[in-house]
Amino acid sequence: MILKIAYLCDHSPLDRNLYSGGNARIHDALCRHAGKVTILPNTWYAAQPIRRLIEAMPDAVNLRLRWRAHLALAPIITHGLQAELARGGYDVLFCAYSLWSLHKLDAPEGMVTAFTSDTTQTVFQASELGRVHGKGFRLTRPLDAWVERCERQALRRADLILWPSHWQRMRAEARYGLSPETALRVPWGANLDRVPSAPPRSIEPDGPLRLLLVGRDWWAKGGPLAFATMQALRTQGVDARLTVIGCTPPEFHRDAYVTVHPQLDKAVPAELATFNKTFGCAHFLVQPSYESYGFAFCEASAHGLPSLCLKVGGVPVLDGVNGHLLPADAKAQDFAAVIQRYRAAPDSYAALCRSTREKYETRLNWDAWGAEVAGLLQEAVARKRG
């Protein structure tokens, strides 16, 4: 059965930059594996003038106000969407990321409602991630209980909820009272158009060591700790180097051993070649970040590059399989100690690299996600109409 799928998000998946590329990857995987996908309008219909006014505000205001206004204006916005759904004859309404788009939305009878995201606003704020990143939440705290009620209502009405991490699945299940039969874990993939080759990697006990960090925000991605790890290794006599992709560290976190690529556009062949070469030459992705998922870890796995990160959030790293998870209070010396163990055991490092690539090939790719989700959607439609 070829499913007719209505795709819903507050931003178009045709923009491949938003949501770190995840929105586009989800849409594309559904197109390849699940059926015929139609992108629903993301207009606010009669409330569109309000949306335009909000989007004209500074980014910091726009980011926090827009989705909350969407929740408040849901009765107006969903009226137009429900008409679109009624005309389309769809089997599935699939919403990505913007849970607020489902608030007050009644899908036609017999239509399956599915949702995926790496987290929700409430789970994020209540977690260790919110405690680290939550400085901007203070003014909106009086609305938190209302937001959580809206989220709970939308999630409980969904037929299928697909979280990419065990971390988010467990927290959402406990927070919203979700059924483990409908709220499932299906890992996302790498933000890559082509699967890179992953030739055998090696590490030399007395050779140079190349570390890598990827992200747009040096501080949020754990840049200072990655830099300190490089320094700790150099103090121990290791010729350690750090390459940064996606941002520019402050001057006091740069020296002769740090190489910076402020931005690499993978749509530009020369820059993609630099991206792939950098991943191919590195020995470890050192990314002690606080995040709900992290596509960089999937990209590292695609290259057979082990990741070293913190055991927080929903990072797609399985300890000893495609990297190592260190305690949240780990210091640079702890990261350096893990690296030194592998420098002293090259065969163990080579085995870790092989299992890292295997993790990508079996789970952390969008074809694996699309194939599994297609089957789940088929089953959900059959149950709904059976």
Residues of the chain with CATH 3.40.50.2000: 3-189+365-385, 209-362
pLDDT at 141: 79
pLDDT at 83: 93
Query: Which one is predicted more confidently, 245 or 140?
Result: 245
Going by pLDDT thresholds of 50, 70 and 90, the confidence category of residue 28 is: very high
Between strands 307-310 and 323-326, the pairing is parallel
**Predicted confidence (pLDDT) per residue in 268-313, tens digit:** 999 999 999 999 999 999 999 999 999 999 999 999 999 999 999 9
pLDDT at 139: 66
pLDDT at 132: 87
Is the pLDDT at 135 greater than 60? The verdict is no
pLDDT at 88: 94
Across the range 224-249, mean pLDDT stands at: 98
CATH tag for 209-362 (out of 3.40.50.2300, 1.10.268.10, 1.10.1740.10, 3.40.50.2000): 3.40.50.2000
**Predicted confidence (pLDDT) per residue in 249-273, tens digit:** 999 999 999 999 999 998 899 999 9
pLDDT at 236: 98
Across the range 33-47, mean pLDDT stands at: 96
Residue type for position 116: T
pLDDT at 137: 54
Query: Which one is predicted more confidently, 1 or 236?
Result: 236
**Predicted confidence (pLDDT) per residue in 304-362, tens digit:** 999 999 999 999 999 999 999 999 999 999 999 999 999 999 999 999 999 999 999 99
**Predicted confidence (pLDDT) per residue in 175-229, tens digit:** 999 999 999 999 999 999 988 888 889 999 999 999 999 999 999 999 999 999 9
Residue type for position 130: G
User: C-alpha distances in angstroms, 170 versus 23, 119, 126, 275, 359?
Assistant: 23, 11, 13, 34, 22
Query: What is the C-alpha separation between 227 and 332, in angstroms, rounded?
Result: 8
Query: What is the C-alpha separation between 27 and 96, in angstroms, rounded?
Result: 9
List alpha helices for 73-120, DSSP H: 74-88
User: C-alpha distances in angstroms, 28 versus 193, 302, 370?
Assistant: 11, 18, 9
Contacts of 373 (CB under 8 A, 6+ apart): 29, 30, 33, 34, 162, 186
Query: What is the C-alpha separation between 38 and 44, in angstroms, rounded?
Result: 18
pLDDT at 11: 96
Is the pLDDT at 140 greater than 80? The verdict is no
**Predicted confidence (pLDDT) per residue in 50-106, tens digit:** 999 999 999 989 988 999 999 999 999 999 999 999 999 999 999 999 999 999 999
Is the pLDDT at 164 greater than 60? The verdict is yes
Contacts of 201 (CB under 8 A, 6+ apart): 283, 304, 305, 349, 350, 353
Is the pLDDT at 1 greater than 90? The verdict is no
Domain covering 3-189+365-385: architecture: 3-Layer(aba) Sandwich (3.40)
**Predicted confidence (pLDDT) per residue in 143-162, tens digit:** 999 999 999 999 999 999 99
Nearest to 126 by CA among 111, 145, 112: 145
pLDDT at 73: 97
pLDDT at 138: 65
Across the range 17-33, mean pLDDT stands at: 96
